[in-house]
Amino acid sequence: MSFKEILFKIAKIWRKYWKPIILFILLFFIAIPACINLAFKYDSEIVILQAEWDAADALSFYGGILAAGLGIYGVFLSIQYAQKNYRDDLKNQVLPYLVVTQLRGLSRYNALADGPDLEIKTENSSVESQTEVPLYEEYKLTKIYYIIEPNGIKNYIDLPSRYKPILEKAGAKWETMANGCFILQKCPYISFPVEIENVGNGTAVYARIGFNKKEDTPEYLPPIQLKPKETFYIHIFSALPLERVFGEYILSIIYQDIYHNRYEQNFPFTAEEQGYHMDLNDKQVCRED
């Protein structure tokens, strides 16, 4: 619990019970000690009322009784608090929490390639096979490719086909010379795949992932939910000349727990002349906003 939350709870209790609190302080800390002090200023002629103590002894005895009473009340509150926590723990063990994950639509229909839809078919036209890949389907986002391109950082659900030969052949490429000979060249590129895994006990609700330059405003993907032990694949890639990619980047992840407490983790990614790397030793930060 943060200091701000503690102050908020104290203020809430004060607004609700300020009259009993003031009455308690006036009675037990001012009125009764004052009466004890005044009582020892006068001598009584009745033997049974003649005090053997002085005011200091009486006030000390009263203080001990008051402290014992407050201690017993504190133990009572502690037991109540422990019992409440125990009940909450039992409730949380069986507490259902439903989350909604947006499915991404994917259409494989190509109007130019497939041509117009003709209602009249020839007799020799084959019936569509049930094994063909459907033109439309829904899917859950489980991976993303961040491609550093000339016009900025783009995200794709799969590695574009123009980059696959570079990755598959580790940047090796045969070039044809003017005399018809071939020369093997090395195409510089950046490839940094990572996997995010929820190693906690609860679901990461409304998790948003973003990758951007350190000085830029983060742009996040649509929210996803990561259950315990569930993973999410991220691949940072670029086929630009390395000097155009040099700089500092941030892989940012923002998410919530089921009680709407917000957390953030930032993983710095650096591309420089010596190579590229990511700092994977990041701390979880609880956001107050």
Q: What is the pLDDT of residues 58-69, one digit of tens each?
A: 778 778 888 888
Asked if residue 241 has pLDDT above 60, the reply is: yes
pLDDT digits (tens, 9 = 90+) for 267-284: 999 999 888 999 988 788
At residue 248's C-alpha, the angle toward residues 246 and 254, to 5°, is 140
Residue in the structure block whose two tokens are 């953030």: 264
pLDDT of residue 238: 94
Backbone dihedral angles phi then psi of residue 275, each to the nearest 5 degrees: 140, -165
CA distance 258 to 187: 47
pLDDT of residue 274: 87
Selected residue with higher pLDDT from 90 and 124 = 90
Measured torsion, CA atoms of residues 272, 274, 278, 282, in degrees rounded to the nearest 10: -100
Alpha-carbon gap, residue 214 to 248, rounded angstroms: 6
| pLDDT recorded at residue 105 | 56
pLDDT higher at 42 or 237: 237
Express each pLDDT in 142-163 by its tens digit.
999 999 999 999 999 999 999 9
pTM assigned to the model: 0.62
CA dihedral angle for residue 78, residue 82, residue 84, residue 88, rounded to 10 degrees: 150
- What integer pLDDT is reported at residue 129 of this predicted model? 46
